[in-house]
Amino acid sequence: MMRAISAAVLVTLLAGCAVPYQPESVSHPVPLAAGAFDRVLGVFHDRHARVAVADRDAFRIQTEWLPFQRGDVPGYRRSSVFRGEGGYLNVIVEMYFLELGAGGVTPSKIVGDRRAEQRLAAVLEHVLAR
């Protein structure tokens, strides 16, 4: 009986891990209007300053890992926009925090920042609607 319960717990945990993170979708006309890449790149330069990837052909823009703080906890965050299925743009904002442990400072697990993704998607929607 205990073996069956353990197997059920393991299957549940693995199923949870199998669900990929869903990026925030950006609502915009498809196909994208001429100049859309430059407008989105401009938003990234204005908001983040340091862009690490700017691939016009793939429509992929990504910032470097930039320092930020949530409350008293320091961390790093990077933002990305990329063209997904159907030509629509998606946004991902990833972050991790610096945790103090017995072995010193270590990075936490990288997680998505849903609120930052929603804010960035809203800004991009406004810029792409012009």
Q: Is residue 6 part of a domain?
A: no
Provide the residue range defining the domain that includes 41.
23-128
Q: Around 117, how many Cα atoms within 13 Å sit in the side-chain half-sphere?
A: 21
- Residue pLDDT, tens place only, 39-90: 999 999 998 779 999 999 999 999 999 999 989 999 999 999 999 988 899 9
**Tell me, what CATH number does 29's domain have?**
3.30.530
Read off the pTM: 0.79
Q: Is the pLDDT of residue 4 over 60?
A: no
The number of domains in the chain is: 1
Q: Is residue 61 part of a domain?
A: yes
- Residue pLDDT, tens place only, 106-126: 999 999 999 999 999 999 999
Helix 36-48 vs helix 114-128: crossing angle, to nearest 10: 140
65 is written with which tokens?
A: 């890992």
Q: What is the pLDDT of residue 48?
A: 75
Q: Is residue 17 part of a domain?
A: no
Q: Is residue 15 part of a domain?
A: no
Q: Is residue 5 part of a domain?
A: no
Please identify which residue in the block is written with the tokens 């330069």. 45
Q: Is residue 18 part of a domain?
A: no
Q: Is residue 28 part of a domain?
A: yes
Q: Is the pLDDT of residue 21 over 90?
A: no
Distance CA 22, CA 90 (A): 9
Q: Is residue 46 part of a domain?
A: yes
